Structure 1
Amino acid sequence: MKKARYPRSFSHIGITVPDISKAVEFYQEVMGWYIIMPPSKVQKESDTAIGQMCIDVFGEDWEEFEIAHMSTSDGIGIELFSFPNGIKEAQEFNPFNTGLFHFCVQDPEIESLTKKIVAYGGKQRMPIREYYPNEKPYKMVYVEDPFGIVFEIYTHSYELTYSSGAYQKSNLNKT
């Protein structure tokens, strides 16, 4: 007998930023995310569980970094990292290569959030689009934070948007 499979829940995402204090401020002020652990330094050492785990993950070629933990309203964690010797510019946007392409947040006030992102130094990458013009109020847009990290905003849940056949229409319309 085949064992039942259940989808796993999403726990958190790790994002590397050039300036942890500015990133925490942006995500708290613009996105409203809660600070769970303010920025703090982690040093390379093998005497603690976190020190050893970081050596396991990052290898030996580092001495310290900064980390902060935040949370969305639905309990998804945002783990921010800032490495002193890392490249401070975002990678060139290339969704065609293997790797993390974007993350997505949900806000029914998509226009307001998009304007706030731009006002705080981010960018709007495209016009806000409707999935079902004149049918349902489902909208989406791609944006960037001030550090060049690309993300998407939906007005409605992922399940609602795609269970309605978002790609069965010929294209997304501009609002």
Structure 2
Amino acid sequence: MSVIKYPRSFSHIGITVPDIEKAVKFYEEVMGWYVIMPPSKVKKESDTAIGQMCIDVFGEDWEEFEISHMSTSDGIGIELFSFPNGKKEAPDFNPFNTGLFHFCVQDPDIEGLTKKIVQHGGKQRMPIREYYPNEKPYKMVYVEDPFGIVFEIYTHSYELTYSSGAYQE
């Protein structure tokens, strides 16, 4: 049997938020993401496909939660969850531990998007930086949404940013 080697595409990311209505509003108004499915309740019930899948994933210690599906302009899914009994404060930022560190979005108007995030209750975590100062216009910045979820903004694609050897002398 031969092994087929090819890169898999990215489908979606799931993000737990404290208030699903506020999160959908933020991501729709600030990030421009499309609402595919507005906030809906999912109940723990083993006689529906979604209920059984959620029991498989979350176990038995829950009764219901809210979920919404959004999409970026390039078809990447954003699955938002809000659990009534979960912690509602921002997660600890600790990139040194194993786990999801951040996700990244792309916008050529990095300054405008960063300003909009801050105006809507988010934070700018660092100055906007250039990967190749005075050579190429590739910029990046780390920000966080109003719920404390850290993400990054690039001005250019991942391939363009790193294909030139960003860290090589």
TM-score > 0.5, shorter chain as reference: yes
CA RMSD of aligned residues (A): 0.9
- Deviation string, structure 1 residues 59-111 (Cα, Å, up to 9, x no partner): 00000000000000000000000000000012210000000000000000000
d(CA) in 2 for partners of 1:113, 1:105: 10
**Is 2:45 aligned against 1:42?**
no
Structure 1 residue 140: deviation in Å?
A: 0.1
The corresponding residue for 1:173 is none
d(CA) in 2 for partners of 1:21, 1:80: 10
d(CA) in 2 for partners of 1:78, 1:34: 9
d(CA) in 2 for partners of 1:43, 1:113: 36
Long gaps (5+) in structure 1: 170-175
d(CA) in 2 for partners of 1:4, 1:55: 33
SS at match of 2:40: strand
Task: Give matches, 1:5-154, under 5 Å.
Answer: 5-154=5-154
How many corresponding residue pairs? 169
d(CA) in 2 for partners of 1:113, 1:166: 23
Identity of aligned residues (%): 89
Structure 1 residue 3: deviation in Å?
A: 3.2
SS at match of 2:167: helix
Q: List, as ranges, runs of 4+ consecutive aligned residues in structure 1 with deviation greater than 6 Å.
A: none
Structure 1 residue 167: deviation in Å?
A: 1.1
Q: TM-score, normalised by structure 2?
A: 0.98
The corresponding residue for 2:155 is 155
Paired letter, 1:91: P
Structure 1 residue 2: deviation in Å?
A: 4.8
